[in-house]
Structure 1
Amino acid sequence: MEHLFLNVFNVVLPVLICAGIGYGLALTKTPFDNKVIGGIVSKVGYPTLIISHLATTNLDVSTFLDMMSAAALAVAGFGVLGFVALKMLRLPVRAFLTPLMHGNVGNIGLPITLLALGDAGMAYTMAFVVVVLISIFTVGMWIPAGEFSPKKLATSPIIYAVAASLILMSTGTSLPQPIAKSFDILGGLSIPLMLLTLGHTLAMLKISSLGRAVLLTGLHLLMAVGIASALIWFFGFTGTERGALILCCLMPSSVATYLFIDQHLPEYGPDVAGFILVSTLTTILVLPVALSIWV
């Protein structure tokens, strides 16, 4: 048992250290532009990471598509259950549904699954990341803004990166060596930049209602366990697929969603910030348990 928890600690600690450095940058007021770095990651880092990783991973296309389907159902499940719960709690849907729907599978999920489950686990998490990112930058923006904008979907580089990856995977085609190496370098920027951004953003958040944050965090965890269990049963996932799905469902609320709430519903920004911060800290406690018992 001691050896098991040591392995779990070795998985979680590097993520905490990297995020902690970002937190330290905020405390020391080191110049750090979240929007610029976020743009680089979403427009360059994520697409190149997806292509470089999936093109070289021995993963069946149908299995990858199954995980994408599971991810879409998970996001939909969080959306439906979250909508009902917010209505019952009499909390504004426009303010809290987006953070309840979207987990931080990019900043935390990718490094955790890579360290815990290896390249195959990270490839499955990529499928989850793709779906969640597309949802965040479409539905996740539309809900707080109260408007529909398909242009964001059509101009997302991530969609074209996924299409290119599926073609390469299904045909067994390899990228030319110079391009493959370039994509490896650019894609390698993503995870450290995401973790630094996570820590920096958490340091800048201001909490309004701790009680509400704890309530929403507990609700999110209950939904995560139920949704993960249902999807594992439905798809019959085992092994690495099962572990990746569980970890992705347990991810805390995405930091990116705070930006949309702060932009369109600033009066609820501190409440959403509190939820994101508490859910992130809670996940740090939950992950070792999940990794040692459930995964």
Structure 2
Amino acid sequence: MEQLFLHVLNVVLPVMICAGIGWWLAIAKAPYDNKIIGAIVAKVGYPTLIISHLSSTKIAVASFLDMLAAASLVVAGFAILGFLVLKAMQLPVRAFLTPLMHSNVGNIGLPITLLAFGDTGMAYTMAFVVVVLVSVFTIGMWIPAGTFSLKNLLTSPIIYAVILSLGLMATGQTLPSPVEKSFDILGGMSIPLMLLTLGHTLATLKVGALWRSVVLTLLHLIMAVAIASLLVPVFGFTGAERGAFMLCCLMPSSVATYLFIDQHMPEYGPDVAGFILVSTLATILVLPVALTYWI
């Protein structure tokens, strides 16, 4: 049990330390532009990370597509259950559904699954990241804005990165060596920048009522456990695939969703920020327990 606990600490603490450095940068008022760094990660870092990692990791296309389908069902499950929870709590759906639907699988999920399950676990998490990112920057924007547009989907580099990666995986082809090495370098910046940005953003959020944030965090965790417990046997996930999927389900609310709420419904910005902060801090307690007793 002691060795297992130490392994869990070795998985969780590096992620928290990196995010803590981002927090310190905000407290120290060091120059750090979240929007520019976020755009670089979304338009360059994520696409190159997806291509370089999936093209070099031996994972069957069918397994990757299964994870894409399962992740889509997870987001849909959070949307349905979240809608019912918000109606029961008499909270505005437009303000709170987006953060309830979308988990932080990019900033926290990728490094955690990499440390816990290696490159294979991270490859499965990539599928989850693709689904959540596409959903965040389409549905996640449409709900608080009250508008509908396919432009964000069609102009997302992540979509084309996935298409290229699936083509390489299906044919067994590889990228030219200079391109592959360039993508390795560019993709390698994603996880450090995501963790620094996570800590920096959390340190600068203006938090609202904490009691509501705690309740929403507990309900989010209950939904995550219920959805994961239902879908794992349906898809027959085992080993690293099962572990990566369950960890992704447990991830806290996505920090990126706060930007849309703050832009379109600023009056609820502090309350949403509180939920994101509490759910992220709860991860420090949830992940060790989950890795020890559940996954």
Q: What is the TM-score of this pair, normalised by structure 2?
A: 1.00
Q: Give the match for residue 271 of structure 1.
A: 271
> Do residues 160 (structure 1) and 181 (structure 2) align?
no
Q: Counterpart amino acid of 2:131?
A: V
Identity of aligned residues (%): 75
Q: How does 1:123-272 map to 2 (within 5 A)?
A: 123-272=123-272
Q: Give the match for residue 110 of structure 1.
A: 110
Q: Give the match for residue 74 of structure 1.
A: 74
Q: Counterpart amino acid of 1:213?
A: S
Please give the secondary structure, in 2, of the residue aligned with 1:149.
coil
Please give the secondary structure, in 2, of the residue aligned with 1:206.
coil
Q: Distance in 2 between matches of 1:238 and 1:100?
A: 27
Q: Give the match for residue 122 of structure 1.
A: 122
Q: Distance in 1 between matches of 2:261 and 2:215?
A: 19
Runs of 5+ in structure 2 lacking a partner? none
Q: Distance in 2 between matches of 1:269 and 1:199?
A: 18
Q: Distance in 2 between matches of 1:193 and 1:207?
A: 23
RMSD: 0.4
Q: Distance in 2 between matches of 1:51 and 1:145?
A: 31
Question: What displacement does 1:293 show?
Answer: 1.3
Q: Give the match for residue 95 of structure 1.
A: 95
Question: What displacement does 1:252 show?
Answer: 0.1
Q: Distance in 2 between matches of 1:292 and 1:49?
A: 29
Q: Give the match for residue 27 of structure 2.
A: 27
Q: Distance in 2 between matches of 1:17 and 1:240?
A: 24
Q: Give the match for residue 86 of structure 1.
A: 86
Q: Give the match for residue 58 of structure 2.
A: 58
Q: What is the TM-score of this pair, normalised by structure 1?
A: 1.00
> Do residues 291 (structure 1) and 291 (structure 2) align?
yes
Q: Distance in 2 between matches of 1:265 and 1:11?
A: 36
Please give the secondary structure, in 2, of the residue aligned with 1:148.
coil
Q: Distance in 1 between matches of 2:161 and 2:290?
A: 31
Q: Distance in 1 between matches of 2:293 and 2:168?
A: 36
Q: Which runs of 4+ in 1 moved over 4 A?
A: none
Deviations 1:193-246 (A, max 9, x none): 000000000000111100000010001000000000011021111111110111
Q: Distance in 2 between matches of 1:90 and 1:234?
A: 33
Q: Distance in 1 between matches of 2:56 and 2:288?
A: 29
Please give the secondary structure, in 1, of the residue aligned with 2:66.
helix
Please give the secondary structure, in 2, of the residue aligned with 1:253.
coil
Question: What displacement does 1:292 show?
Answer: 1.1
Please give the secondary structure, in 1, of the residue aligned with 2:133.
helix
Q: Distance in 1 between matches of 2:37 and 2:200?
A: 11
Question: What displacement does 1:99 show?
Answer: 0.1
Q: Distance in 2 between matches of 1:200 and 1:240?
A: 31
Please give the secondary structure, in 2, of the residue aligned with 1:232.
helix
Q: Distance in 2 between matches of 1:25 and 1:149?
A: 36
Q: Distance in 2 between matches of 1:239 and 1:117?
A: 9
Q: Distance in 2 between matches of 1:76 and 1:157?
A: 23
Q: Distance in 1 between matches of 2:29 and 2:52?
A: 34
Please give the secondary structure, in 2, of the residue aligned with 1:254.
coil
Q: Counterpart amino acid of 1:6?
A: L
Q: Give the match for residue 8 of structure 1.
A: 8
Q: Distance in 2 between matches of 1:101 and 1:91?
A: 15
Deviations 1:79-126 (A, max 9, x none): 000001101110000000000000000000000000000000000000
Q: Counterpart amino acid of 1:48?
A: T
Q: Counterpart amino acid of 2:171?
A: T
Q: Distance in 1 between matches of 2:208 and 2:77?
A: 27
Question: What displacement does 1:173 show?
Answer: 0.2
